[in-house]
A and B are shown apart, each in its own frame.
Chain A
């Protein structure tokens, strides 16, 4: 079992470029999440999904879009990258029952120049 897999692991972009971060899970989890991690700020939820074809905004959604066309995949898009989006991005997934933990990927380290 791979768990949660994120691609790419590293990326450097120029301001204004676009890109898509990919997340795949093989645990048949209903819920999926995208977080960003910045020093001293913990994890902040960008967007989440409670099932195939559904997405919703989290705490810091501006500048990002997501799609969940298949249950096992959750894509995060940056349409026009800004330096403020330099961060480490984590994807996670979980069962829908609230007493279950989230399972995290190993992150994508993104730098915007």
Chain B
């Protein structure tokens, strides 16, 4: 069974400092990994994905994520946090080896609070 762990319920960071939101995963085949962001009273919005290729993936709003196969991690990063980055962040995984419909498993979310 596949799973996603986001070990931190909340991450606090000062505006202008680098931020990291952690995600580890477990999947039987090659992972397809996604990050989504959720602002209050809104649905999830896609930020970036890792399918194959470079381990460093760049996405929307200056975010990037580093895929580490040996550590089964896909941490979300940004060099300089903005107050407007404050939101709930979800990591998700799918088994990339299998064709057809495959379930996407979401983490429980990490609340990012950027302090002015």
B-contacting residues of A (Cβ < 8 Å)? 4, 31, 40-43, 45, 48, 50, 56, 58, 90, 92, 96, 98-99, 101-107
Contacts and interface: CB of A to CB of B under 8 A. Distances in A.
B107 A96 contact: no
Given A98-B102, A101-B49, 14 more contacts: A4-B43, A42-B90, A42-B109, A50-B101, A92-B44, A98-B95, A98-B99, A102-B44, A102-B104, A103-B46, A104-B43, A104-B44, A106-B41, A107-B41
Interface in B68-104: 90, 94-96, 98-104
Size range of the chain B interface in the assembly? 20 to 34
Contacts of A104: 36, 43-45
A42 B107 contact: yes
Nearest to B48: A101
B76 to A, nearest CB: 15
B33 to A, nearest CB: 10
A42 B32 CA distance: 19
A98 B45 contact: no
A42 B41 CA distance: 15
- 6 closest pairs, A vs B, by CB? A104-B43, A101-B46, A42-B108, A43-B106, A104-B44, A99-B51
